[in-house]
């Protein structure tokens, strides 16, 4: 481990010891102060973001990724509101989950405690900087941030404002640390800082996540990619289905909970596709259609799907479409090709809805709603540190409780083991 990584890790660890002792009022005051300062200094953040956007355009960053990078005053207000919501949530630290009395009189319980030091490696998403800080701070954790170089100026401005708020309240500024070195070597150093870092969370594309899983010696929680599906059942309200598909595909295309694949029951193909084709064309969505469905789309708007399309996360104005003969076939297809993120069924059949909920293997499964709701803010978590697609230690949008672990607490009155 390099000297700078050891120093950074140790400072974060020492800060985490202080954060773990703060009471709820102290943590909430810091979050509210930081939120107010972000809004008050929005012009500073926007000026930094303008530099990042200028570089992004010069480097021909895809437009959906530029949208992820871009900040506006309303987006900064939303980031601040997320921090305020986190402040308003129940503090999980210190909660006793259970307490049992053993035959020998010992009282044995479980109590929520912070993880310690969290590290997050992420790409061009400056909102993540504030979201992650808020959740880690409220749950008593220090955080080391490794943002993408594309958002370096924006991230720096946000962290400086947060640290100013912490300093004003005599709290350790090392509660949040932004790594200045954006190189891959620096990322690998962080991935292997197991002496000081308790958990590492990657937020980004498949390449970033694969690199972290392959190289990290620190425990990792994967926030996976999103090949999200909508299945339109034969009993579906087709107007509802079209609205859900369009929202899931086009509201923001560069996000992990956007719809990438559509399955349609064969009995409603002829009724659904003409209406859907018109709506998709309005948004200039390229359709990768099963060969039998190509005729439902204008030649310029569709291409024949290949095998790779069923498992592809487009993150663009593209979608794959396939017909199926039953809810069972839809479930089998989804469980074969999905990434374990978010899946939806549109149906009026209660039994099919329950079967879909029970049998689809994903972090979030919807009935008659858009997959775009898989989000910490929308789930009432205030914000999220990521959406975990693995099954240990957390799954789905990760809020405060997912950033804690437990320890046993034992009360005795002199017991000794014979």
209 and 247 fall within a common domain:
no
50 and 89 fall within a common domain:
yes
pLDDT at 224: 74
pLDDT at 393: 87
Is 349 domain-assigned? yes
114 and 94 fall within a common domain:
yes
Is 417 domain-assigned? no
- Domain CATH number, residue 254: 3.40.309.10
Is 248 domain-assigned? yes
Is 385 domain-assigned? no
Q: Are 248 and 371 in contact (CB under 8 A)?
A: yes
Q: Are 145 and 23 in contact (CB under 8 A)?
A: no
Cα(204)–Cα(28) distance, integer angstroms:
29
pLDDT at 223: 83
Straight-line distance from the first to the last Cα atom of the chain, in angstroms, rounded to the nearest whole number: 45
Is 235 domain-assigned? yes
Three-state SS string over the chain comes to: CCHHHHHHHHHHHHHHHHHCCCCHHHHHHHHHHHHHHHHHCHHHHHHHHHHHHHHHHHCCCCHHHHHHHCCCHHHHHHHHHHHHHHHHCCCCCCCEEEEEECCCCCEEEEEEEECCEEEEEECCCHHHHHHHHHHHHHCCCEEEEECCHHHHHHHHHHHHHHHHHHHHCCCCHHHEEECCCCCHHHHHHHHCCCCCCCEEEEECCHHHHHHHHHHCCCCECCECCCCEEEEECCCCCHHHHHHHHHHHHHCCCCCCCCEEEEEEECCCHHHHHHHHHHHHHHCCCEEEECHHHHHHCCHHHEEECCHHHHHCCCCCCEEEEEEECCHHHHHHHHHHHCCCCEEEEECCCHHHHHHHHHHCCCCEEEECCCHHHCCCCCCCCCCCCCEECCCCCCCEECCCHHHEEEEEEEECCCCCCC
Query: Residue 314: which domain range?
Result: 228-373
116 and 11 fall within a common domain:
yes
232 and 357 fall within a common domain:
yes
pLDDT at 112: 97
Neighbours of 258 (CB within 10 A): 27
Q: Which residues pair with 411 in a beta bridge?
A: 107
178 and 78 fall within a common domain:
yes
Neighbours of 7 (CB within 10 A): 12
Q: Are 231 and 345 in contact (CB under 8 A)?
A: yes
- Domain CATH number, residue 405: 3.40.605.10
155 and 213 fall within a common domain:
yes
165 and 263 fall within a common domain:
no
pLDDT at 143: 98
Q: Which residues pair with 410 in a beta bridge?
A: 108
- On the question of a cis peptide bond just before residue 193, with omega within 30 degrees of 0, the verdict is no
Is 261 domain-assigned? yes
36 and 157 fall within a common domain:
yes
pLDDT at 317: 96
pLDDT at 414: 97
Is residue 183 left, alpha or beta, with left meaning phi > 0 and alpha meaning psi from -120 to 50? beta
205 and 277 fall within a common domain:
no
pTM for the whole thing?
A: 0.86
Please count the structural domains in the chain: 2
Q: Are 335 and 229 in contact (CB under 8 A)?
A: no
pLDDT at 225: 84
238 and 213 fall within a common domain:
no
Q: Which residue shows structure tokens 């220090």? A: 142
- How far are the Cα atoms of 63, 77, 165, 172, 361 from residue 169, in angstroms, in the given order? 40, 22, 7, 9, 45
Residues 6+ apart with CB under 8 A from 369: 244, 344
312 and 177 fall within a common domain:
no
Is 388 domain-assigned? no
One digit per residue, pLDDT tens: the chain, 418 residues? 799 999 999 999 999 999 999 999 999 999 999 999 999 999 999 999 999 999 999 999 988 889 889 999 999 999 999 999 999 999 999 999 999 999 999 999 999 999 999 999 998 889 999 999 999 999 999 999 999 899 999 999 999 999 999 999 999 999 999 999 988 899 999 999 999 999 999 988 788 888 898 999 999 998 878 999 999 999 999 999 999 999 999 999 988 999 999 999 999 999 999 999 999 999 999 999 999 999 999 988 999 999 999 999 999 999 999 999 999 999 999 999 999 999 999 999 999 999 999 999 999 999 999 999 999 889 988 778 889 998 888 999 999 999 999 999 999 999 999 9
Is 39 domain-assigned? yes
pLDDT at 385: 86
């Amino acid at each position: 481990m390099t000297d700078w990584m050891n120093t950074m890790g140790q400072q974060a660890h020492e800060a985490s010891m202080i954060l773990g002792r703060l009471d709820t009022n102290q943590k909430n005051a810091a979050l509210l102060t930081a939120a107010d300062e972000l809004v008050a200094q929005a012009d500073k953040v926007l000026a930094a973001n303008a530099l990042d956007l200028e570089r992004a355009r010069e480097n021909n960053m895809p437009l959906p990724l530029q949208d992820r990078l871009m900040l506006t005053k309303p987006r900064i207000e939303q980031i601040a509101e997320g921090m305020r919501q986190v402040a308003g949530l129940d503090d999980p630290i210190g909660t006793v989950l259970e307490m049992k009395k053993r035959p020998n009189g010992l009282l044995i319980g479980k109590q929520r405690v912070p993880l310690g030091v969290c590290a997050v490696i992420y790409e061009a998403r400056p909102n993540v900087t504030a979201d992650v800080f808020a959740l880690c701070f409220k749950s008593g954790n220090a955080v080391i941030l490794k943002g993408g170089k594309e958002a370096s100026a924006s991230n720096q401005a946000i962290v400086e404002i947060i640290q100013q708020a912490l300093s004003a309240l005599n709290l350790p500024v090392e509660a949040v640390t932004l790594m200045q070195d954006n190189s891959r070597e620096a990322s690998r150093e962080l991935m292997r800082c197991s002496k000081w870092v308790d958990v590492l969370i990657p937020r980004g594309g498949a390449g970033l996540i694969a690199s972290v899983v392959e190289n990290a010696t620190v425990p990792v929680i994967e926030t996976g990619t999103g090949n999200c599906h909508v299945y339109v059942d034969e009993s579906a309200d087709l107007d509802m289905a079209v609205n859900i598909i369009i929202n899931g595909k086009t509201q923001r295309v560069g996000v992990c909970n956007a719809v990438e694949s559509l399955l349609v029951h064969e009995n409603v193909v002829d009724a659904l596709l003409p209406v859907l084709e018109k709506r998709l064309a309005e948004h200039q969505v390229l359709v990768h259609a099963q060969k039998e469905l190509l005729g439902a789309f204008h030649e310029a708007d569709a291409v024949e799907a290949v095998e790779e399309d069923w498992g592809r996360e487009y993150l663009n104005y593209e979608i794959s479409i396939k017909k199926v003969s039953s809810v069972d076939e839809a479930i089998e297809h989804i469980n074969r090709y999905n990434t374990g993120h978010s899946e939806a069924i549109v149906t009026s059949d209660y039994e099919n809805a329950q079967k879909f909920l029970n049998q689809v293997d994903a972090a979030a499964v919807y009935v008659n709603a858009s997959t775009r709701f898989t989000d910490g803010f929308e789930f009432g978590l205030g914000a999220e540190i990521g959406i975990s697609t693995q099954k240990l230690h957390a799954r789905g949008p990760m809020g405060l409780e997912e950033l804690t672990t437990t320890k046993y607490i034992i009360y005795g009155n002199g017991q000794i083991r014979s």
